[in-house]
Structure 1
Amino acid sequence: MARAPRPSPVPTLLRLLSSNPSLSAAAAAHAALLKSSSLSSAVPVAATALLTAYANAGLPGAASRLFDEMPARDAVAWNALLACLVRHARAGAAAAAAFRGMAASGLPPTPATLCTMLKACAASRAARPGRQLHARGVVSCHADADVIVATALVDLYMSCGLVEDAMRVFVLTRCPKDAALHNAVLSGCVENGWFSHAFSMLRQRTELNGISLTSALTACAATANLAYGMQVHCKALRGEFDSDTILCNALIDMYAKCGRATAARIVFDRMATRNVVSWSSMIDAYSCHGHGVDALDLFKLMEKAAPMVLPNAITFLVVLSACGHSGLVDEAQSMLHLMKSKYGIDPQPEHYACLIDMLGRTWDLYCSLTASRNKSSSAIFVAMLNTCRANMDAARGKTVAVRMLEVDPRNPGIHVLISNFHAAMRQWSESNESRRIIVDTGLRKEAASSHVCFG
């Protein structure tokens, strides 16, 4: 009795590769396909699937080597290689060489080929090679009749700032235009500042999805168009897109840019899911309107939401900005320390710039108040000297100290504060000199009192 032929393992392996794009799965499938001689087949279905699996597992080198070993390559195999090279940031010489190799093998580019290469050109903002691909696509596969290629062309031209060319592609596309193509044009107009065109497209469309609504809100925020932004909000509610986190983040930004921090907070409080952008956007909304205390309170709530959501460098930047707009110097210093000590985020130049700008405005305020020699100068001098000490600003601290001595040189509390300031600056001789003056002049500081009173 003859044995029944064993079923081919290829279909099972292909299903495994498509459902589990991991290194272990790819390696196991590779071994099994080699054993079954499937990789040497003239029909490169199995080899192409394995190539894609290596690409999905983050191994473009293994994918390229496998492609070089394939005895036969069809357009699908070439497209899989191109997609792998572009996906893993090898979209320059390697992708161009593969594209030329495909042409040299006698295979014309397919719509999938053009989309992949146009994506590479868009990522590198390479307009000239993109135009060449456009011309080749019109000749070889009627690119103006393929909505996916048209969308890729619009993305390319919008990425390169060539809005008129993108609009021309949109108008001349002969096939039915889908939502993806409309969204590509809409988002491209918004990114390039063509807001009037964006609003015109929105008025022409009756069906809007989450992507188009988000683009509309971005345009409303950029132009401070509250009336239209509220209409978009209503459309989002009617379409039940209000549970979309990205769209809600855009709503928060729109209301903040239009001067409605309270409305932004209502959207924030009603969000089903918040990410770090949600928290940072709401804190920034408070910052832009001078509500520094509210921004800090919200940041404390964000800390309680950890570890679900953790602040990042941008979060701390908007918190520092909020402190700066409200003159919260001590709180800003605490935030700068917290971001490194608790969250392991190294402050960048822009974080220090916020604090420096804040201290600079504090100094300008000090100068304007003390110029009038008013009776409130006591608290101003003490606060300013303490700020200079906390920030190790020896030059400005010395200026404040000289001014304090000019106002009331016989106040012992002044000399103690100045001595402590110089000690913090490690200026030991100046610190000892302030103490010596107290002894030599017979000044006496009141016990258990740090109150400084100027005449």
Structure 2
Amino acid sequence: MASAPRPSPVSFLLRLLSSHPSLTTAIHAALLKSSSLSSPHNPIPATALLTAYANAGLAGAASRLFDEMPARDAVAWNALIACLVRHARPEAAAAAFHGMAGSGFPPTAATLCTMLKACAVSRAFRPGRQLHARSVVSCHGDVIMDTALVDLYMSCGLVKDAMRVFMLTKGPKDAALYNAVLSGCVENGWFREAFSMLRCTVLNGISLASALTACSATANLAYGMQVHCKALRCGFDSDTIVSNALIDMYSKCGRAMGARMVFDLMAGRNVVSWSSMIGAYSRHGLGVDALDLFQRMEKDAPMVTPNAITFLSVLSACGHSGLVDEGRSMLHLMKSKYRIDPKPEHYVCLIDMLGRAGQIDEAWNLYCSLTASQNKCSSAICVAMLNACRANMDVLRGKKVAAHLLEIDPRNPGIHVLIANFHSAIRQWSESDESRKGIVKKGLRKEAASSHVSLG
């Protein structure tokens, strides 16, 4: 009886490479020893190894391996381009794209989709349009290509172009295409179109989260509750991303208790869940509840580590509730226990907190220390200090901050308005008028105010 043929060593190594990426370096050495990488007729082993290096985050090693390949096919070129795009090297990807064509390999649908992704990330709509023209010639009715095109145009703010691609898609539209349109409409503020799209698409976690983001942005509680019901009916109530979006929606629609109900029913919570719920309490001025929840997070969720956003929410909650001592403790805890370096926005919260509490001297000392460190001071910190001076009628310090603001952000019309308001608060009417006239003299233009309207 004849025995079954034994698999070749190269086939065994390639299977091992796909199942054990940590062995990439060792398998590379074995493939070199077997001379498999030097074959002028079989680029498959080298391409598989290149992909493994790319997946391991070693873009340099992948590029060097490609340069050493004696034989390359379209698959190898696509693997290199995908590696470069994945590791945020768009210029190198573009060079490889042109090199592929120069080597006699016309771009495939996979090539074009990868390059469209690179254009979307860098918002390069002109090269993207050129790729679109190529796709019309080579890829007829490809839903994956159309999804990449929609993502490109949405990323560049060209919603009408994206919708046109969607409407002209031939054949069945899949969930990925619907989600690209839905999330793109939300990101670009086309909320009515997003709600309309939701009625057409097959619901999944991405579409539900996008719809809830639209409800949050428009403070549309009625529609948000409908989406919540759909999530429950479709079994997405245990989806962490959807639950986090529900917490945010209820919070921004003025329903802190609704947010807490969703939070309490979550089977698994991540740092976004805890931060969102703490932020909900902060938004509603419930500083004590925010602190209690933070302490519960430290006690009951030891595997979830608070991040900079978590502390920003806690500091904001303390500031809006007058919990100055607790706010100071949070900033110290952030640095000492969790080794998180406070960003300007954290210091903005602290200065605002001290200003609200009338502790202007401490706020000023903090502001001066931040000003001395150029990499920590920002216009937002100066604005917070100016508001603190206005609240405490500190004329001398306020004028110094105003002068500093004009030095670091002279072309911002909002800064001139804030300074004018400061002078009005301290009853220096002529200086206030001069600040407002400065907007006109310098040709600055303040953005018109806007508000969200419920879409019903």
Q: TM-score, normalised by structure 1?
A: 0.77
Query: Which residue of the partner structure matches residue 75 of structure 1?
Result: 74
Question: For the structure 1 residues 236 and 35, does the alpha-carbon distance in structure 2 shift closer, same or farther, using more than 3 Å as the test?
Answer: same
Q: By how many angstroms is 1:252 displaced?
A: 0.2
Query: Which residue of the partner structure matches residue 89 of structure 1?
Result: 88
Q: How far apart, CA to CA, are the structure 2 residues paired with 1:282 and 1:54?
A: 40
Query: Which residue of the partner structure matches residue 438 of structure 1?
Result: none
Query: Which residue of the partner structure matches residue 228 of structure 1?
Result: 223
Query: Which residue of the partner structure matches residue 298 of structure 2?
Result: 303
- The two structures, once aligned, show a CA RMSD in angstroms of 2.3
Does residue 355 of the first structure (1) align with residue 350 of the second (2)? yes
1:329-340 paired onto structure 2 within 5 Å: 329-340=324-335
Query: Which residue of the partner structure matches residue 324 of structure 1?
Result: 319
Q: How far apart, CA to CA, are the structure 1 residues paired with 2:31 and 2:108?
A: 28
Residues 351 and 366 of structure 2 are in contact (CA less than 8 Å); yes or no, is this contact kept in structure 1?
Answer: no
Letter of the 1:57 partner, please give it: A
Deviations for 1:13-57, whole angstroms, at most 9, x for unmatched residues? 1111111222xx222222222232222330211111111111112
Residues 108 and 140 of structure 1 are in contact (CA less than 8 Å); yes or no, is this contact kept in structure 2?
Answer: no
- The more displaced of 214-223 and 31-40 is 31-40
Q: How far apart, CA to CA, are the structure 1 residues paired with 2:193 and 2:263?
A: 30
Q: By how many angstroms is 1:394 displaced?
A: 13
Query: Which stretches of structure 1, 4 residues or longer, exceed 4 Å deviation after superposition?
Result: 3-7, 387-396
Residues 216 and 249 of structure 2 are in contact (CA less than 8 Å); yes or no, is this contact kept in structure 1?
Answer: yes
Does residue 239 of the first structure (1) align with residue 234 of the second (2)? yes
Q: How far apart, CA to CA, are the structure 2 residues paired with 1:352 and 1:218?
A: 28
Question: For the structure 1 residues 71 and 233, does the alpha-carbon distance in structure 2 shift closer, same or farther, using more than 3 Å as the test?
Answer: same
Query: Which residue of the partner structure matches residue 244 of structure 2?
Result: 249
Q: By how many angstroms is 1:332 displaced?
A: 1.0
Query: Which residue of the partner structure matches residue 65 of structure 2?
Result: 66
Query: Which residue of the partner structure matches residue 216 of structure 1?
Result: 211
Letter of the 2:182 partner, please give it: L
Letter of the 1:182 partner, please give it: Y
Deviations for 1:170-213, whole angstroms, at most 9, x for unmatched residues? 111112110000000000000110000001111233x3011100
Q: How far apart, CA to CA, are the structure 1 residues paired with 2:17 and 2:106?
A: 28
Query: Which residue of the partner structure matches residue 189 of structure 1?
Result: 185
SS in 2 for 1:243: coil
Q: How far apart, CA to CA, are the structure 2 residues paired with 1:334 and 1:68?
A: 55
Does residue 176 of the first structure (1) align with residue 172 of the second (2)? yes
Q: By how many angstroms is 1:388 displaced?
A: 5.0
Q: By how many angstroms is 1:290 displaced?
A: 1.0
Residues 279 and 290 of structure 2 are in contact (CA less than 8 Å); yes or no, is this contact kept in structure 1?
Answer: yes
Deviations for 1:232-270, whole angstroms, at most 9, x for unmatched residues? 111111111111111100000000011110010010011
Letter of the 2:103 partner, please give it: S
Q: How far apart, CA to CA, are the structure 2 residues paired with 1:304 and 1:391?
A: 35
Does residue 136 of the first structure (1) align with residue 134 of the second (2)? yes
Query: Which residue of the partner structure matches residue 315 of structure 1?
Result: 310
Q: 1:40 aligns with which of 38, 41, 51?
A: 38
Letter of the 1:18 partner, please give it: S
Runs of at least 5 residues in structure 1 that lack an aligned partner in the other structure = 364-383, 401-455
1:139-150 paired onto structure 2 within 5 Å: 139-142=137-140, 145-150=141-146
Query: Which residue of the partner structure matches residue 280 of structure 1?
Result: 275
Bigger radius of gyration, 1 or 2?
1
Residues 388 and 394 of structure 1 are in contact (CA less than 8 Å); yes or no, is this contact kept in structure 2?
Answer: no
* Identity, % of aligned positions: 80
Does residue 262 of the first structure (1) align with residue 257 of the second (2)? yes
Q: How far apart, CA to CA, are the structure 1 residues paired with 2:317 and 2:222?
A: 27
Q: TM-score, normalised by structure 2?
A: 0.77
Does residue 271 of the first structure (1) align with residue 266 of the second (2)? yes
Runs of at least 5 residues in structure 2 that lack an aligned partner in the other structure = 369-387, 393-456
- How many residues are treated as equivalent by the alignment? 368
